[in-house]
Amino acid sequence: MEQVRIGKTVLRLVQGDITRQAVDAIVNAANRHLAGGGGVDGAIHRAGGPVIAEECRAIRERQGGCPPGEAVVTSGGNLPARHVIHAVGPIWQGGAAGEDETLRRAYQNSLRQALACGARTVAFPSISTGAFRFPIDRAAPIALSAIADFVREHPDAFDEVRMVLYSPDDFAAYRHALARLFSAS
């Protein structure tokens, strides 16, 4: 299963590069210092250009960064997306340090920011499952149910929420989770 409909909103899985998505807002898997880095964060800063780092620096100076579970917004620079929502996921510490709840909040606060900037189409990467080492089989159902719950609570907000999975293995993990979560609906 690669997509489901939740009311008027499509929740879709695609395999690809998030920097190429023509949506209103893409989400970045950032760190609490909003300092840039590798992985999807590096790819977004490279493709979007220096304006994103400049806006991140202004946010850092204003509010000292972004704690895990929260999200902040910059413009998209040269990206097809108008906005970048920088979400900070949890660093995996074994699973008993509240990582599941922090991951869920990262998705929901990202959607809250998307709603606030009027984005009707939003694309997410798989937050925390790279450098932050959150196991993807555990992250996928948390990500999808966090999105689905938020969409159910805001039925007029979004046309599409897209998960953009970079590797075939990541895509397979999310497809499996989507089928399990929605098989009865």
Please identify every residue annotated as catalytic.
Answer: 41
The answer to the question of residue 141 lying near ligand AR6 (CB under 6 A) is: no
Task: Choose, by CB under 6 A, the member of 31, 74, 102, 108 that binds ligand AR6.
Answer: 31
- Closest among 23, 27, 123, 125 to 82, alpha carbons compared: 23
* Residues numbered 164-183 forming contacts with ligand AR6, rule: CB under 6 A: 164, 166-167, 170
Report the site for ligand AR6 in 34-63 (rule: CB under 6 A). 37-41, 43
Among 81, 111, 126, 162, the residue binding ligand AR6 under the rule CB under 6 A is 126
Residue with Cβ nearer ligand AR6 (7 or 95):
95
- 167 class by beta-carbon count within 10 Å (0-12 exposed, 13-18 middle, 19+ buried): exposed
CA-nearest of 91, 45, 81, 104 to 164 is 81
| Contact flag: residue 108 with ligand AR6 (CB under 6 A) | no
Should residue 18 be labelled a site residue for ligand AR6 when binding is judged by CB under 6 A?
yes
Minimum gap (Å) between residue 165 Cβ and ligand AR6: 7
The reply to whether 113 sits near ligand AR6 by the rule CB under 6 A is no
**CB closer to ligand AR6, 133 vs 152:** 133
Q: Kindly tell me which residue out of 55, 77, 125, 163 binds ligand AR6, with binding defined by CB under 6 A.
A: 125
Tell me whether residue 82 or residue 154 sits nearer to ligand AR6 (CB atom). 82
Q: Where are the alpha helices (DSSP H) in 6-163?
A: 39-48, 50-63, 99-116, 136-153
Measured distance CA(142)–CA(105) in Å, rounded:
10
65-to-55, 85, 97, 119, 168 alpha-carbon distances in Å: 11, 13, 21, 23, 33
Amino acid identity at 178: L
Distance CA 177, CA 83 (A): 28
Q: Contact between 129 and ligand AR6 (CB under 6 A)? A: yes
Residue ranges in contact with ligand AR6 by CB under 6 A: 17-19, 29-31, 37-41, 43, 89, 125-132, 164, 166-167, 170
